[in-house]
Amino acid sequence: MDKKVLVMCSGNSCRSIIGEALVNKYLDNIKAYSCGIAPTGKVNPNAKKILELYSAWDDTLYSKHLDEVIDIPFDLVVTVCDQAKESCPVFPKSVKKIHIGFEDPDGKDFDEFEKTYRLIKKELLKAIKKEISK
């Protein structure tokens, strides 16, 4: 049975979407979801572009509010921005939470999305594998 991981940030338009896509592409037996505490309602075009560039885009990805996923029994919740860490809610079932912050590339050049993609792939995936295997 797959472990379930939630990647959470404030807007759910860049970092958490990239995280969800990369976990689902590269980590076996782990199903990732993402959400925002104040979602923008859209995926940043450069986030989509970087995921398409590396064949990680999935048409099921979209910006969603925590309310849409809060009842899923997650094995791990990962906040990827300070605002989400500070506002991380109480979940219906006890769940382990970790924080791995990444700078928000929104509003910056495409190069920053490339940098964010690489950092998330390197740091987030390693941290999730470590936490899930405990």
Catalytic residues: 9, 81, 88
Name the residue with tokens 């940030």. 9
Listed in sequence order, the DSSP H helices in the chain are: 15-26, 45-53, 82-87, 110-119, 125-132
Closest residue by Cα to residue 96 from 1, 14, 3:
3
Structure tokens at 51: 């995921």
DSSP reduced 3-state for 120 = helix
